[in-house]
Amino acid sequence: MLKYLLKRFARSLFTLFLILTIVFILVRQMPIEGYFSNFDKMTETQIQNGLEQMGLTQPMWKQLLNFYTRLLHGDLGTSRVYYRGKPVWDILRTKLPLSVQLGSLAILFSMLVGLPMGTLMAKYKGRFPDQLGTVFIVLIQAVPAAVYYLFIQLYGTELLSIKLRFDEGNWISWILPVFSLSLGNIAYYAMWLRRYMVDESNKDYVTLARIKGAGEGRIMFRHIFRNAFVPMAQYLPTSFLNTVIGSIYIESIWSIKGMGGLLVDVIHKQDNEMILGIVLIFSCVGILGLMLGDLLMTLFDPRISFTKKAGEV
Amino acid sequence: MGLIKHPQVERLEQHVTEALKEDLSQEQLFAFAPFDEEEAERAGVVNYSYWRSTIRAFRRNWIAMALLLVLALVLLFTFIQPMLPGQFTPTEISNGPNGLPLKNQSADSVHWLGTNAIGQDLWSRVWAGTRNSLIIGISVALLEALVGILMGVLWGYVRQLDFLFTELYNIIDNIPTTIVLILVSFILRPGMGTIIFAMSITGWIGMARFVRNQVLIIRDRDYNVASRTLGTSTARIILRNLLPYLVSVIMLRMALSIPGAIGSEVFITYIGLGLPIEICSLGNLINEGRKLMMSPSLRYQLIYPTIILSIVTISFYIIGNAFSDAADPKNHL
């Protein structure tokens, strides 16, 4: 097990290295006029001097080498435009907690609603609760989130009579962003849990439990739910990450000062070090999420073992 | 013999006995038989046609059929609309009797859905936007399918490429799609081509991986081994044995990536990296509407594009699901 994890970890590091290199090269393809606020009035030498100061005139491999040397010393660089001269890590450290809080609340809420919803849909398969749930799932999955978020903001703020702008201290203003952020996950959890539970309920062990005289409630929760939850567990960490990253739009329309909104902002300002810093954090969490998901699965289902799985192709 | 024989088995046995009756020399007996389409089909289910069964199964789903009709009408109308009498062009600014632009005019007989903040006709803008958004969505879906299937088959068949593709998949799967979308749209000049490219660049690998897994699983299944031993050509194995299993999911993915692409376009436009404002799209319209949404009398500028966008995306979603169920050979017969 340990050997497998170590191997997996080494591979993840390699993937991370490739991702960072690609994004690093991509970022340097951005138009140079974006680096200067008064590009039109500058002379050729001024531009050259400016670029040289930022280290952009060096050959790509040298820039990359510098970047990785700094990174290995635990230095993410300093912000150029967003907060001039402030280390990237210091900026991100203040932004990260808000995004994580928002994401955690959203995941918690979606599990509290999505899992019972999926269970109910499976229990009343083909009947009214199932059909109602299906309509909800289709609506949420088919209509782009970018659109229904707007309507939640529009009518939600009127209903609660609050401002459009997010206020961290006021708990009422947390409701709508968390709710919007949860909808996609609720639909996703409910859809998959329903499918897995329906699959499980057709299996022999359920019939046996019924013959033994176990109550329906007991069968539903002790037997079917536990087995159906195993494939869901694998997805949980990734869905948490997707929620934090997916909050780019939410954070932006509600003016929440978190990581998501920040990424869009720094890309517009061409603050290269900031972009790489955020991408690094997002990718790390993403890779960790995949690993954690697999670990969670072994926790919920003792039959799954990775040492065996790693041997197969 | 109390055994009840399947008529097909009986026919086959008869065929063998008849063949044995003929006085064949040793060489003739062990010579390879050439592939014969008619003979090959004889053991199969009579009168089974994949596409006929698929269409029959699809037609039974009346909701999907109704939405297909709606979608076809919408699609047709986006192209007919500019030719109808009394239409405006989407970028034309209408002036009122006093010579000033007719800003935020509510709906009347001239401007069927009213005008926007600078006096452009909303009705024609909504249809032009739908047209462009559909072009984006369908192009992305086609590109993804084309590249994805091609790469997927290569990935599955050519073993040397497996490592390369798997690594590529790990990378693309691990970079958040939003970041790629934003970076590509930022680096390239804004336009239809850029936006289609940005959206396809991450989408194809998912399709390729699916095709690859299916190719790996199916190609060595017993029935394919049997086909190959009987001398069936690779092309026929791919077309008749493999493809029917793939059609269902390929169609589903294509149908879902259309609403996905339309939604991404709205998001990219919101970030300010979408299409230039001269090109009308649902993303541009919704973004224009969003800026005015706080005044209830102007809210129609957000609501009309949203309605048509929802109709299109929901239709594609439901039709895709229904068709994928119908196209699964397991649901036939």
Tell me what pLDDT residue A116 has. 92
Report, as an integer, the average pLDDT of B259-263.
Answer: 89
Please indicate whether, in this complex, the C-beta atoms of A245 and B178 are within 8 angstroms of each other: yes
Quickly state the pLDDT bin for A311 (edges 50, 70, 90): very low
Instruction: Tell me the domains of chain A and their CATH numbers.
Output: 2-72 (no CATH), 89-300 (1.10.3720.10)
Where does residue B76 rank: exposed (0-12), middle (13-18), buried (19+ CB within 10 A)? exposed
Q: What is the pLDDT of residue B176?
A: 66
Task: Give residue B116's pLDDT band: very low, low, confident or very high (50, 70, 90).
Answer: confident
Tokens of A218: 């007991």
Q: Which residues contact B275 (CB under 8 A, 6 or more apart)?
A: B132, B190, B191, B192, B195, B265, B269, B281, B283, B284
* Any B CB within 8 A of A139 CB: yes
A270: left (phi over 0), alpha (psi -120 to 50) or beta: left
Token pair for residue A86?
């402030």
pLDDT in tens, B124-133: 889 999 999 9
Higher pLDDT residue, B202 or B132? B132
Residue B221 pLDDT more than 70?
yes
pLDDT above 70 for B63: yes
Per-residue model confidence (pLDDT) at position B74: 93
- Our CA-based measurement puts residue A285 at a distance from the nearest CA of chain B, in whole angstroms, of 10
The pLDDT confidence band at residue B319, using thresholds 50, 70 and 90, is very high
Q: Chain A: residue nearest B169 by CA?
A: A15
Q: Flag if B179 and A164 touch (Cβ within 8 Å).
A: no
Interface confidence (ipTM) of the complex = 0.78
Distances in whole angstroms, Cα of residue B264 to Cα of each of B208, B284, B290: 21, 12, 16
What residues of chain B lie within 8 A of the CB of A287, using their CB? Answer: 174
If you write DSSP's letter for every residue of A269-313 in order, what string do you get? Answer: TT-HHHHHHHHHHHHHHHHHHHHHHHHHHHHH-TT--HHHHHH--
Average pLDDT score, chain A: 83
pTM of the predicted model, to two decimals?
A: 0.80
B102 has pLDDT over 90: no
What mean pLDDT comes out for the span B195-206? Answer: 86
pLDDT at A273 over 80: yes
Residue A179 has pLDDT above 70, yes or no: yes
What does the pLDDT look like over B164-175, one tens digit per residue? 888 788 777 766
Residue B115, amino acid: T
**Identity of the amino acid at B309:** L
Q: Which residue has the higher pLDDT, B15 or B260?
A: B260
Ranges of each domain in chain B: 53-80+120-331
The CB density around residue B69, as the number of other CB atoms within 10 Å, is 11
Tell me what the mean pLDDT of segment B85-101 comes to: 78
Distance from chain centroid for Cα A249? 12
Distance CA A290, CA A312 (A): 19
Which of B53-57, B157-161, B227-231, B315-319 is predicted with the least confidence, judged by mean pLDDT?
B157-161
In the predicted model, is pLDDT for residue B281 greater than 50? Answer: yes
- Give me the CATH topology for the region B53-80+120-331: MetI-like fold (1.10.3720)
Taking 50 as the threshold, does the pLDDT of residue A67 lie above it?
yes
